[in-house]
Structure 1
């Protein structure tokens, strides 16, 4: 969600920093190293990221994750939440074309649902999934596979994945999705997303329907 359909503007990094400072979860390493790991693993389950920062201490990671979710909620309450320009219209266009739209995120359900509510997307989104809903977070394929199962698609070739991070791309590839796109509105750049295996890298999510149509995948997804 953040960086793909929701404007981030550094909010995730700020929340990570606040959580690290309040819990000491990353004290074992220089903050620059911790931040580099956070940036490299954008899109992954937050508990997994904090477990690494905590040197494998799961209890410390759980405390830090709770602090992160609280910090993120505070920042959103202070600053508000905004969609990537055109994201809502892009989602509606895909739905009008007969596709099911599922939002996946590394956030906990409470944060995910607060974002959806803040954007007024409760009736727009068909389904939203967090790692706890699927088993493992990205880059494991679980979120994509769960989305496919819940959407009752008949073939993974009819599934398209779009995201702003390497983890999004890797998750889609591992799930066997028919089309995996990177978008340039979030964490990672063109070279990084292409190197991760993206079939295409789009300026933003508004280009997804066109990319699917150009490849003849829109009709495939509609009939799956």
Structure 2
């Protein structure tokens, strides 16, 4: 009696086919929306854009003052890794591992703009941001990664020197734990399985952004 599994297999094959077709149709809508959005943005900025210029206009379209980080694609920032404002004063800037250039914009009034210029050289401004082999720190928080699990084993408030997480808890903060579903025909689950083959490395390190990249094998996922 082999026909039941064959029918089941054919049904599953058809389901996968239609799932991929539906997924492709949905993705096409998002891709088209993104294309239209990019075209509209390009048209809106055409009147204030000069091809080949290293001067960047940061426009605040909101009705209140705003400051923050500005991220430029590699193609728009290949003149250098140094950024100056309208008074030729250097501002914090950093080249990311993605090739993008990020810099700190000062407060811009509502519905106004400020201009910045990308120049040759590297940023000379430093900050107290730190990235170690298994740690990150700014002026408020200090974070430590467990090199064996890839989870956060300590998160400390710097000024008060106060631990913010329960270091005695059964599971660490931001931990990955896979619990297998019902596999033996009963309403029970298997034991929790942690991530394996943990690798931690510094991804970003500069005056504006510090980060760690943590990779591992994840039981229960397709990429394990």
For the superposition of Structure 1 and Structure 2, which TM-score range results when normalised by the shorter chain?
Answer: under 0.3
| Higher relative contact order structure (alpha carbons within 8 Å, sequence separation ≥ 6) | 1
Structure with greater helix share of residues: 1
TM-score (norm 2): 0.22
Greater Rg by CA: 2
TM-score (norm 1): 0.22
Structure with greater strand share of residues: 2
